[in-house]
Structure 1
Amino acid sequence: MATNKNLPKREEIDSKFKWKLEDIYSDISLWEKDFKKVKGIAIQIEGFKGKLAESPQMLLDCLKMCDELLSLNDKVFVYARMKRDEDNGNSTYQALTDRASTLATEVFAAISFIVPEMLNIPEDKLLSYANSDKELSVYLFMIQESLRQKEHVLSEKEEQILAMSSEVSSAAGDVFTMFNNADIKFPYIKDEEGEEVEVTKGRYIAFLESKDRRVRKDAFDVVYSTYSKVKNTLATTLTANVKKNRFYAMVRKYPSAIEASLDNDNVSVNVYNNLIETINNNLNLLDRYLKLRKKALKLDELHMYDLYVPMVEEFDKKIPYEEAKAIILEALKPLGEEYIGYLQKGLNSGWIDVYENEGKTSGAYAWGSYKTHPYVLLNYQNKINDVFTLAHEMGHALHSFYTNMTQPYVYSEYKIFVAEVASTVNESLLMRYLLPRAESKQEKAYLLNHYLEEFRGTVFRQTMFAEFEKIIHEKVEQGEALNAKELCDMYYQLNKKYFGETVNVDEDISMEWSRIPHFYSSFYVYKYATGFSAATAIAEKILTEGKPAVDKYIEFLKSGGSNYPIELLKIAGVDLSSPQPIQDALAVFEKTLDELEEILG
């Protein structure tokens, strides 16, 4: 297996391929200045305690100061963290990130009095404040949202205690993160050339994509046998996280952890259940895809370690970064001239950190703060997948750009429920652009398979994860204990349900729950599946309806967090309170599967 053994150092990367964090702070002294300013405002804002009911002006002044405090704190934190991400071995930015993290905890503790005290104002008086003052009316939705959740807001002192408990309550996730990222070590296996190579988490997927089935099986076996050796510890950390969720749900007077989590987005549990039910009712489509995979790979038996190897060989096509930019600009033209203008600006104005270097954070993300333009971290490798990643992350970046340009700070942070929509719309449009331009049957088959794999990983797999989370939380809420054996049994049965018709479901897969970080951000993964489905529907509308659909979509991008996620998606023409968008996305999956079956015969 080829590995890059000689990564360049940060200073060896050409500056034109680096993001310009100097757009945030030109030097650390300016960061230190804002760090001190945040501390000062955090102290100053406590002067509003006990005074919010005095007048509309007093409430407005407090809310405006809170916005200034949070937006400046975001800027301080984002800069420190992204500087660390350039080279995680840089002790200067390790220290800055630690300081920024501690500062954020202090900030949230300092403002924890605001909502409880605001909600102590009689509702009619509070609403009259908001409706009688033009500046305060900006906060009307935020106030209404706070009133909606009033029964779940505790006293000022209790809220402060909960804010201070955040670092302690994250212990289960922190322990898992340290174990999973720093301490766990896997054995060596022999690669395709017969050389001894250490299995790492980073190499694991590459091994599962190996054409050599022995390599795939060996990697699969050693990963899960390693996790299995500490299954009781990992069962304890996961159970502790579930109990944490139950504790916060009970403290805030919710019937269950899932209702507590979904209420933050004002999303009904029906949306969660509709997703699981609709996918369960369409597992025949997944089975059809798996049968095609088995046939394409010419296997007598399809095992769990055969699910990631490309069933269509990657066509030998290198796509340099500059070419990738040109492709994306063409592919996203259906989104209109304004969008393309902003996209060009982002691609050419120091928003993006392109290439891998020694110590750089792996993967990709889009980030930034209200006071800065968005930024994108890549580790570009000249592959077609990297082109999709660039389109994906620029979708996030322009969603934030439109939001920050249009909304006040209080509504600038859109919910995770809608966060994956803009990124996936871009990927869908890119796919629809590339397919008719494929230069060979192999290239077209590869692209179709890529799209189907996106569906499998984002819709089917994440829904299975969501179903597992629902089951384990219900067990704890019913007073049942969770242990390693029960977690393994439940997870194995889910895999049998989703894959068991065609796949020989290996016993080792029962340990997969133990290595999934998202299970420590509970009831999060279902949003990948709903977001992907919504984005698929929106992309279809853009391509078939043209400008009217584009205008609605841009309005959605501009809306940030100014309404509830379900309502925001309705602006773009998608109603996720119904299972229909999930069903429509599955129809696209089926159509794509039809095309690939026809090519592969």
Structure 2
Amino acid sequence: MAAKLRKREEIPAQYKWDLSHIYPDDAAWEAALADVLASGKKFAAWEGKVAENPRQAIREYFDLNQQADPVFSYAFLRGETDNGDPVAQGLRARASQMGVQLSTAMSFFEPELLSLDDSLLAEIAADPAMADYDAFLRNLIRQKPHTLPAEQEKLLAMMGQVAQAPNHIFGMLTDVDMSFPPVQMPDGTTAELTEGTYSQFIRSEDREVRKSAFDGIMNTYGSFGSTIAATYNGSVQNDVFQARARHYATARDARMEPLEIPTSVYDNLISEVHAAIPVLNEYLALRKALMGLDELHMYDLYTPMVKDFHMELSYDKAFDLVLEGLKPMGEDYLAKLREARVGGWIDVYPSKGKSSGAFSSGSLRDVHPYVLLNHNDNLSDTFTIAHELGHSMHSFYSNTNQPAPKSDYSLFVAEVASTCNEATMMRHLLKTFADDKKALAYLLNHFLEQFRTTVFRQTMFAEFELIAHTMAEQGQPLTRESLSKAYYELNQKYYGAVCTVDENIANEWMRIPHFYRSYYVYVYATGLCAAVSLSDKILSEGESAVRDYRKFLSAGCAVPPIDALKLAGIDMSSPEPIRRALGVFKDTLAQFKAVMV
């Protein structure tokens, strides 16, 4: 384990993404920014005139969005690798400002389209020459009750940069200004604690290391608790305001209805997971027994239960393992992964000022996706490679097979391809190590942890978001105390039957960046449930299932997300896939018990 983070210039070039594939340098970005702003001014001339030639206005609207995308992506990605670089942050701020300017300049467009007769909009949507835009027009008509008059839309667009402030403040506070106390190591030395290295420490077999890291993270966030609560309150209040301004009953409706996802999917997830908490308790009790603990604390939940097996994987070895595990996806799929490995798609290692976590950015149609990692040499981060490349391949197939207006797949299915990669790779590893009891136990433990953290934990997050937004909608104050109380009580519900729920776990909500993108985390849980079923189909049915899966990956937003999954044989409008996935958790737990006892 490295004692300190490297500077970015110390990372070899083959382990950094290459943004020159977007623009060769910042000067080229500046020129592109100027062109976009000029195009925005040109498009503004359509104001009051969309009805004169709606087909051409629609084309130019999407052309402008596509022109702006690389400008925003370059600045965003440049800033992610060094949040302390004032030049990079300046580009990102200007790109954000560009987005607000364009939103303001284009805000008249949809209201003017919606002022046209429904029969004319339907006629345009049915025009073969406008086939690229039929899904957009279908959604536009469906969202008509929630689109405001042009002047009101312009005001909401002008608020865009203000609305982004809570997320930006949170990022600056946690990635740049916040520092954590060093972790006390068993040999008496200390090691640097960051969000990027926390995952390593919390998995340590040394309990004092785990506790030191856990307390360091949770107590530091707690020391900023009032500030973070105020920041999160600003984000939630914006969600509520936007929902009410657009005549939705709740902020959750405002997020889910445009995606054509019924809120019953969210409620089904919570109710099915609640019903499975006794199985989670059974798993936690086994963990407590196998670890030989009198009390199971929250900082004991991540260390592997198999103590005498270690799978340390360098990035290159990890990538080889990913390629081997994803062979069932087909040779063309693997070829694209090999291209990603050497083609400047991926930024691999933690470094000073780099954003924590991992993501895939796949919106660029004329350039490949980009992947940010913070790789540590462990199995968990190997699965992260597979996960993020799943996102990237979903983007690649959608961009390749759909025109730009139909290529941006729904938030609801965003986690399916990524988690299907993980599930498929896990099945490969379980088969590979079937005769190695130690390795099998380790992998089953990992699989169980994936369920716990992706289904149970993310559903708990989803429940917290629902509580916070409901409180705001009912006029209840969102304070450090009220939010931490709600979060602590959820931990008691999910873990309290077996665990000692440490007081400072109440601060954990403060470190979750996804909460600033409201009503998102539930798709991790629903995505895993769908992905487990898809992986089973691919492995059991072979080529025919791969063809169906490719249809899903290629669908973009040409059809509603529920229908896109149906192309691959999965119906998420019912609770059955959730129930089936939780059944897999129960069966895997039984298999793990048989190996360990």
TM-score by length of 2: 0.93
- Deviation per residue, 1:267-309 (Å, 9 max, x gap): 1110100000000011111111101110111011111121122
Q: Structure 1 pair 101/171, CA: closer, same or farther in 2 (3 Å)?
A: closer
Cα deviation for residue 593 of structure 1 reads 1.3
User: 2:375 aligned with 1:376, yes or no?
Assistant: no
Other structure's SS at 1:76 match: helix
Contact preservation (8 Å) 2:487, 2:509? yes
Instruction: Provide the rounded CA distance (Å) in 1 between the counterparts of 2:161 and 2:257.
Output: 22
- Deviation per residue, 1:153-202 (Å, 9 max, x gap): 00111111101101112333333333333334444563322345565444
User: 2:361 aligned with 1:367, yes or no?
Assistant: yes
Q: Structure 1 pair 243/366, CA: closer, same or farther in 2 (3 Å)?
A: closer
Instruction: Provide the rounded CA distance (Å) in 1 between the counterparts of 2:450 and 2:7.
Output: 31
Q: Structure 1 pair 418/89, CA: closer, same or farther in 2 (3 Å)?
A: same
Other structure's SS at 1:366 match: strand
Contact preservation (8 Å) 2:233, 2:478? yes
Within 5 Å, which residues of 2 pair with 1:551-562? Answer: 551-562=547-558
Among 485, 506, 509, the residue aligned to 2:505: 509
Among 90, 110, 118, the residue aligned to 1:95: 90
Q: Structure 1 pair 572/359, CA: closer, same or farther in 2 (3 Å)?
A: same
Within 5 Å, which residues of 2 pair with 1:435-474? Answer: 435-438=430-433, 440-474=436-470
Report the equivalent of 2:395: 400
Other structure's SS at 2:337 match: helix
Structure 1 portions without partners, runs of 5+: none
Of residues 484-493 and 87-96 in structure 1, the stretch that sits farther from structure 2 once superposed is 87-96
Structure 2 portions without partners, runs of 5+: none
Among 15, 37, 44, the residue aligned to 2:42: 44
Q: Structure 1 pair 15/173, CA: closer, same or farther in 2 (3 Å)?
A: closer
Cα deviation for residue 230 of structure 1 reads 4.3
Instruction: Provide the rounded CA distance (Å) in 2 between the counterparts of 1:324 and 1:219.
Output: 25
Within 5 Å, which residues of 2 pair with 1:542-557? Answer: 542-557=538-553
Q: Structure 1 pair 314/165, CA: closer, same or farther in 2 (3 Å)?
A: farther
Of residues 343-352 and 415-424 in structure 1, the stretch that sits farther from structure 2 once superposed is 343-352
Cα deviation for residue 109 of structure 1 reads 1.7
Report the equivalent of 1:3: 2
Q: Structure 1 pair 376/479, CA: closer, same or farther in 2 (3 Å)?
A: closer
Instruction: Provide the rounded CA distance (Å) in 2 between the counterparts of 1:300 and 1:90.
Output: 47
Cα deviation for residue 361 of structure 1 reads 4.1
- Deviation per residue, 1:556-585 (Å, 9 max, x gap): 111112222112111111111111111111
Q: Structure 1 pair 523/84, CA: closer, same or farther in 2 (3 Å)?
A: closer
Other structure's SS at 1:267 match: coil
Contact preservation (8 Å) 2:175, 2:353? no
Report the equivalent of 2:424: 429
Report the equivalent of 2:233: 239
Other structure's SS at 1:556 match: helix
Aligned partner of 2:322: which letter? I
Q: Structure 1 pair 506/322, CA: closer, same or farther in 2 (3 Å)?
A: closer
Q: Structure 1 pair 98/482, CA: closer, same or farther in 2 (3 Å)?
A: closer
User: 2:177 aligned with 1:183, yes or no?
Assistant: yes
Other structure's SS at 1:376 match: strand
Other structure's SS at 2:371 match: strand
Aligned partner of 1:307: which letter? L
Contact preservation (8 Å) 1:287, 1:501? yes
Aligned partner of 1:553: which letter? Y
CA RMSD of aligned residues (A): 2.4
Instruction: Provide the rounded CA distance (Å) in 2 between the counterparts of 1:9 and 1:551.
Output: 41
Aligned partner of 1:503: which letter? C
Of residues 72-81 and 197-206 in structure 1, the stretch that sits farther from structure 2 once superposed is 197-206
**Number of aligned residue pairs:** 595
Within 5 Å, which residues of 2 pair with 1:77-92? Answer: 77-92=72-87
Aligned partner of 1:450: which letter? H
Instruction: Provide the rounded CA distance (Å) in 2 between the counterparts of 1:391 and 1:516.
Output: 22
Report the equivalent of 1:540: 536
TM-score by length of 1: 0.93
Q: Structure 1 pair 129/488, CA: closer, same or farther in 2 (3 Å)?
A: closer
Aligned partner of 2:318: which letter? A
Cα deviation for residue 348 of structure 1 reads 3.9
Q: Structure 1 pair 390/177, CA: closer, same or farther in 2 (3 Å)?
A: closer
Cα deviation for residue 517 of structure 1 reads 2.2
Q: Structure 1 pair 361/196, CA: closer, same or farther in 2 (3 Å)?
A: closer
Report the identity percentage: 43
Contact preservation (8 Å) 2:201, 2:209? yes
Q: Structure 1 pair 242/23, CA: closer, same or farther in 2 (3 Å)?
A: closer
Aligned partner of 2:38: which letter? G
Report the equivalent of 1:476: 472
Instruction: Provide the rounded CA distance (Å) in 2 between the counterparts of 1:594 and 1:556.
Output: 32
Q: Structure 1 pair 314/125, CA: closer, same or farther in 2 (3 Å)?
A: farther
Report the equivalent of 2:33: 35
Instruction: Provide the rounded CA distance (Å) in 2 between the counterparts of 1:232 and 1:78.
Output: 32
Report the equivalent of 1:157: 151
